[in-house]
Amino acid sequence: MRRVKTKWIWAACAAALLLVPAMGWAQGIPMVNVTGTGKDSQYSLSLQLLALMTTISLLPSLLLMMTSFVRIIIVMSILRQALGTGQTPPNNVLVGIALFLTLFIMSPVLTDIYANAVVPYMENGMKFDKALAAAEAPLRGFMLKQTREDDIGLFMQMARKADVTDATQVPFTTLVPAFITSELKSAFTIGFLIYIPFVVIDLIVASVLMSMGMAMLSPMMISMPFKLMLFVLVDGWSLIMGSLAASFVH
């Protein structure tokens, strides 16, 4: 009985030690509260931090859905498959290339957003709704230039908002899926054009091996050096990067 009581005492002490930091942490964080009503509402620091963390968690989706990142990363992935190099370049390298090329392509839009929305909001006291509208305008203009009218019409019809007469009146929630659909179409079209020369090389190598009676030898293993040599000789990386950057209309 003494051993059982001792175990219970030690268990209670351990639980108390675990609860002390949690209680102190809970007391250190202020409660989420809102003071005032209507436009004069003020939010506590913890609620502001919650909104900030939510915005940060959505940044990857914003990067994927409203910039040139999707087209670039899909083309790069198709290029790697066409070369037949497996995981070379690795995924981290492809994502890094796509990210910095996205920053290069989106730099005029980001500069416009910073000059007309961020700076007036941080320094001149512009209201948040006006700053948000100023930031939305250049991004909307970029997305509209890349989006096909058929895709916009499809999603407008699905949203039952066919009475819009101007492209600037397209809701942002409708423009984003139309933009991403157009980006997927453009990416696969470019990938198809990239894939054709490498398929031709595979066919030539396979035909030569069959004629030489080497059917058991993998054509992919023989054709990969020739594809790499062709890609290097034509300065493929510069052509791919330049073509991708030029494919976006500003």
Q: Mind giving me the DSSP string for 121-153? A: HHHS---HHHHHHHHHHHHHHHHHHHS-HHHHH
CA distance 238 to 192: 18
The whole-number pLDDT of residue 189 equals 92
Is the pTM above the cut of 0.95?
no
Structure token pair of residue 226 = 């020739």
CA distance 105 to 109: 8
CA distance 58 to 48: 16
pLDDT in tens, the chain (250 residues): 444 444 444 444 444 444 444 444 444 444 444 444 544 444 445 665 676 677 677 777 777 788 888 899 999 999 888 888 878 888 888 888 898 898 898 888 888 888 888 777 777 777 877 887 888 888 888 888 888 888 888 888 887 776 666 777 788 888 888 899 999 999 999 999 988 888 888 888 888 877 777 767 677 777 788 888 888 888 888 888 888 888 887 6
Q: Mind giving me the DSSP string for 60-95? A: HHHHHHHSSHHHHHHHHHHHHHHHT-TT-S-HHHHH
Structure token pair of residue 5 = 């009581």
The whole-number pLDDT of residue 242 equals 87
CA distance 24 to 43: 23
The whole-number pLDDT of residue 75 equals 92
Q: How many residues does the structure list for the chain?
A: 250
CA distance 220 to 202: 7
134 Cβ neighbours under 8 A, 6+ residues apart: 113, 116, 117, 120, 126
CA distance 140 to 61: 16
Structure token pair of residue 171 = 């809701």
Position 67: which residue type? T
